[in-house]
Amino acid sequence: MILGCHVSMKAPDYLEGSIREALSYGANACMIYTGPPSNSKRVDVEKLKIEQAKALMKENDFQMDRVIVHAPYIINIANTIKEDTFEFGVTFLKEELKRVSTIGASILVLHPGSHVNAGKEKGLDSIIKGLNSVLDSDDSNVVIALETMAGKGSECGSSFEELQYILSHIHKRDRVGICLDTCHIHDAGYDVSNIDSILDELDNQIGLESLKVLHINDSKNKIGAHKDRHENIGKGYIGFDALHTIVHHPRLSSIVKILETPYIEGKAPYKEEILKLKEID
C-alpha cells in the first residue's frame, strides 16, 4: 500500500525534514508544498537539501515518485475577470513545474480554479488556455494532476464531466491527469461508499489511467453539501469503512494515497490514521 500524508517543508531541513517527518508517521509517501500555499514566496531550490533527502529516502526504500507536490492556492487560471490574476497563475505555474522537476518529483496537484461568477464555460476554457500555455513551453515529464473539487462558490472541476472537458482540449494530453479527493467528491454529490461505481464512471468519462493521486479525507458535511471541510478518518459522514475499502482497493493499488486530515489538539493524526487504515479485516 502506498499511503502517506501532507508534511511540512520548512527551514532549516526543508525536503530532508519532510521525508523524516513522513517516516515518523509510518508513511511511505508524502505531499509537500514548495513554499507557503497562500503566497508566492519561495526559497531557491538549491537550499532545499534535495540530495540529503534522496539519501534518506534510499536508506528507507522511499521512492521519489511517491513525493507529491501541491501547487499553491493562489494560482487561479480559471479567472477571466482579472487578466493579471490569470497571467500570474500561468507564470507561477511554469516556475512551479521547474521546481518540481528539479526536486525530482513527477506529479504536481493543482486546483483547477474558480470562474469568479463569470460562468463555468468561461472558467473551463480559461483553464484549458492556461494549461496549454504552461505545458507548450515546458519539456519536463511532470504531470499536472487536476484535483476534484467540492463545488463551493464558483469552483470549476467538481464533476468528471468538467474535468473530461478540460482534458479533452489539452495539447499534451499525457501531461495532465486527475487527483481524486474523497472529501471533495463526497461534498460534490458522489457516493464514496460505492467506489466501484465511481471508478467505472471515471474510467468511462476520462480513463482510469489518468488517475494519478488520491487524497484520503473524511468529510464534516453530508453528501452534496458543496462545502469542502475535511474531517479525520472515521469521524465524518464518509466513514471509516468506505475509506478503508478505497485504500485497499485492488484497482487503486498503484496509486499514491495522501491524508490531509485536520490536526487534533495541535498534533498531526497521521501515524494513528495510517496504522488504522493499513489494518486488514
C-alpha cell at 257: 494515497
How many other CB atoms are there within 10 angstroms of residue 137's CB atom? 10
Give the residue ranges of the annotated binding site for Zn(2+): 70, 111, 147, 181, 184, 215, 228, 230, 260
According to DSSP, the residues that pair with 211 across neighbouring strands are 178
Residues annotated in the binding site, as ranges?
A: 70, 111, 147, 181, 184, 215, 228, 230, 260
Of 9, 16, 65, the residue nearest 42 (C-alpha): 9
- Helix ranges restricted to H, the chain: 14-24, 50-59, 83-103, 120-136, 160-167, 182-188, 195-205, 240-247, 270-278
**Residue 195 CB contacts under 8 Å (≥ 6 apart), including other chains:** 242, 245, 246, 249
Cβ burial of 96 (10 Å; 0-12, 13-18, 19+) is buried
